[in-house]
Structure 1
Amino acid sequence: MREAVVTSGGDRMRWVELPGEEPCRVYVHGLGGVSGMFVEAASHPLLTGRRSLLVDLLGFGVSDRPLDFDYSLESHAGALAGLLRAADVRGAEVIAHSMGGAVALVLAERYPDLVSRLVLVDANLDPITPAKGAPGSGGIAGYGSEAEFLATGWDSLRATVGETWWSTMKTGGPEALYRSAVGLTRGSEPVMRDLLRDLRIPRTYLVPEGDPYFRGGDALVAAGVGVVAVSDCGHNIMLDNVDGFARATADALEK
C-alpha cells in the first residue's frame, strides 16, 4: 500500500499499486466503495501488464477521513489530482465506477494533463433530487442535515443498502459518506453529462444491459462517446460480470 498527502492539512490518500508498463491505469470506486472492488477485474488477463493504481478516495477505505473537507466532486477531483501528481502519473487511463466516474469527469476537465482516456462504469451523469428513503445517494442526501444523518441515518443504512454495499460503506467515515452524497446529488458545474459530451479524449461508458434508468445514449454516441452494454450484471459491473467488464474495458482502451 502507498500513500500521499493530498490536502494542505496533511490528509493522506492511499492506494494499491500493481506494476506494469505505462501509461498508468487508475481505478476509482464509487460512493461508499473501496479500491478492493476492482482487484479481481484489474488482475484479469485482459487487463494485466499495465501499471495500475487502485485508489481509495478521501474519506473511504484506508484513506484519511478529514472532518474539514467538504467531499464535493470538485474537492474529490482535486485530492485525486494530488495523488496522481505525487505518484508521478500523467496521461492516465482512468476507469471509474458510479460516483467515481463523476469525480473522474471533473478530474479530466480540470486537470487535462492527468487523464488520456476514460472508461466510466455506470457513472452518475446527472443531478439527483435528494429524498429521504430513496435508494442510493439520493436517500443518504435526503436527510435534513448532516447532524440528522449522523444521529439516525448511519445506523439504519445497513438494513436499507444491503450487506454487499454495507460491507464497504462501513469502512468509510459517515461524514464523508453524507457530504459525498450531497455533492453527488448536486452534481458538478458544468454538469457531468456535459463534461462527458465536451471532453476531447477517448471515452467509453459501460452500462448494464437493459438498464431502465439509463438515458441519453444516442446523444452521447453522437458526441463520440462509446456506449457499451454489458450483460449479466447490475450497477456493480466489475463485480457482477468480471469477464464481461474486462472485455469491454480492454476493448475501450485499445481503440
Structure 2
Amino acid sequence: MTPFSIDDQEHILRYLDLFTTPEKNAPLVFIHGLGCASSSDYPPVVNSVSYTRRRSLLVDLMGSGFSDKPEDGKYDSTAQAAALSKLLLSESFPKVNLFGHSAGAFIALQLARQLADQTGTLILCEPGLTDYGVAMLSEITSMSEQQFVESGFAQLLAQLKSSGGNEAWLGPFSVASPYAIYHWARSSLDDNARPWLDDLAALKVSKAVILSDTASSERIAQFEQAGCTVALVANAEHMIAYENPDGLAAAISKLLD
C-alpha cells in the first residue's frame, strides 16, 4: 500500500493506488463507512468486469484498516476530511472524483466542499445513517470513551458475531481502533442530525447518489431535489459493496462515464 504521512508525528495514512497512468487524470477516491476499510470493501468492485478502469485510490481512513491508529488521534469527520485533503493536495490532481459510503458520505461531502474547484463528481452511496446505524452508534456513545475501549468494543464485536450476517463487516471492524470507532460514532451522529442535505443541495459540483433499489420514492426524491443523479442497485441493501459489487461497479462506471 502507498503510505502518506499526515502530520509531524509521522502518522501514516495508507491506500491502494490502482490503475495508474503517466497522466495525472482525475482519480476516484473511495471513502469507506464506519467500521469498514476501503482495502477490504472495494477490491471486488474495482476488479469487476463492470468497472471502467480508471485511477482509483482505495483509502483506509486513520484508525481503520492498514492505516495508523494512534490512541490520541483525531477521528471525527472533520479531521478525516482534513487528512484526505492534505493527501489529495499533495498530489496536485487537477480534478478528483469522490465516493463516500454511509457515514463516509459525510466525510466525502466535507471534502467536496473544501475542494470544490478540484472536485469533478461526488458520488454518495447509501449516504447517512440507517435507523439500525443510529441505534448502534447511540449505544456506543452512551458509554464513556474509557468504558467503550476497555469493554464495550469487545462486547460489540461479540454481539455482531452472534447476531449473524455480519461476517464481511466483522473483518475490518475487528481491526479498527476502538478510539476511532468511538470518536467517529459521536461525530457521525452529529453529522446525521445536521441539515446535511441542504449542504449537498448547495454544493456546485456534479453530484450523484447510489441507492439500493428498495429505496422509497420519497428517499429518491429528496436526493433528486438536491440536484443529484440517482442510480439504483438491485440485490443489495445498505452494504452494497459486499452484497452486489458488480452492480455497484456498473453504477459507478455509468455515473462517471
TM-score normalised to structure 1 length: 0.88
| Secondary structure of the corresponding residue to residue 49 of structure 2 | coil
- Alpha-carbon distance between aligned partners in 1 of 2:222 and 2:236, rounded to the nearest angstrom: 24
Cα distance change of structure 1 residues 171 and 233 upon mapping to structure 2, 3 Å threshold: same
Decide which of 29, 34, 41 is 1:26's aligned counterpart. Answer: 29
| Correspondence for 1:184 | 188
- Establish whether residue 45 from structure 1 lines up as the match of residue 14 from structure 2: no
Deviations 1:23-57, CA, capped at 9 Å, x for gaps: 11111111011112101111223324311111000
- Alpha-carbon distance between aligned partners in 2 of 1:73 and 1:191, rounded to the nearest angstrom: 15
Aligned length: 248
Task: Please state how far the C-alpha of 1:69 moved relative to its aligned partner.
Answer: 2.7
TM-score normalised to structure 2 length: 0.87
- Unmatched 5+ stretches in structure 2: 161-165
| Correspondence for 1:152 | 151
- Alpha-carbon distance between aligned partners in 1 of 2:28 and 2:236, rounded to the nearest angstrom: 23
- Establish whether residue 122 from structure 1 lines up as the match of residue 121 from structure 2: no
- Alpha-carbon distance between aligned partners in 1 of 2:158 and 2:132, rounded to the nearest angstrom: 22
Cα distance change of structure 1 residues 122 and 75 upon mapping to structure 2, 3 Å threshold: same
Residue 165 of structure 1 aligns with an amino acid whose one-letter code is W
Residue 157 of structure 2 aligns with an amino acid whose one-letter code is R
Task: Please state how far the C-alpha of 1:130 moved relative to its aligned partner.
Answer: 9.1
Q: CA contact under 8 A between 2:197 and 2:226: conserved in structure 1?
A: no
Deviations 1:7-32, CA, capped at 9 Å, x for gaps: 34321100011124521111111101
| Correspondence for 1:82 | 86
User: Aligned Cα RMSD in Å?
Assistant: 2.4
Deviations 1:147-171, CA, capped at 9 Å, x for gaps: 1211221111123333332211111
| Correspondence for 1:195 | 199
Aligned sequence identity (%) = 28
Cα distance change of structure 1 residues 210 and 185 upon mapping to structure 2, 3 Å threshold: same
- Alpha-carbon distance between aligned partners in 1 of 2:252 and 2:53, rounded to the nearest angstrom: 14
Q: CA contact under 8 A between 1:130 and 1:185: conserved in structure 2?
A: no
Cα distance change of structure 1 residues 210 and 164 upon mapping to structure 2, 3 Å threshold: same
Quick check: which one's helix share is greater? 2
Decide which of 59, 62, 65 is 1:61's aligned counterpart. Answer: 65
Cα distance change of structure 1 residues 215 and 107 upon mapping to structure 2, 3 Å threshold: farther
Decide which of 228, 233, 241 is 2:231's aligned counterpart. Answer: 228
72-81 vs 156-165, which moves further: 156-165
- Alpha-carbon distance between aligned partners in 1 of 2:6 and 2:122, rounded to the nearest angstrom: 22
- Alpha-carbon distance between aligned partners in 2 of 1:175 and 1:245, rounded to the nearest angstrom: 30
Residue 218 of structure 1 aligns with an amino acid whose one-letter code is A
Residue 12 of structure 2 aligns with an amino acid whose one-letter code is R
Task: Please state how far the C-alpha of 1:176 moved relative to its aligned partner.
Answer: 0.6
| Correspondence for 1:244 | 247
Cα distance change of structure 1 residues 189 and 91 upon mapping to structure 2, 3 Å threshold: farther
| Secondary structure of the corresponding residue to residue 233 of structure 1 | coil
- Establish whether residue 218 from structure 1 lines up as the match of residue 241 from structure 2: no
Task: Please state how far the C-alpha of 1:129 moved relative to its aligned partner.
Answer: 11
| Correspondence for 1:105 | 109
Q: CA contact under 8 A between 1:81 and 1:114: conserved in structure 2?
A: no
Task: Please state how far the C-alpha of 1:139 moved relative to its aligned partner.
Answer: 3.0
197-206 vs 44-53, which moves further: 44-53
Residue 26 of structure 1 aligns with an amino acid whose one-letter code is V
- Establish whether residue 167 from structure 1 lines up as the match of residue 166 from structure 2: no
Residue 198 of structure 1 aligns with an amino acid whose one-letter code is A
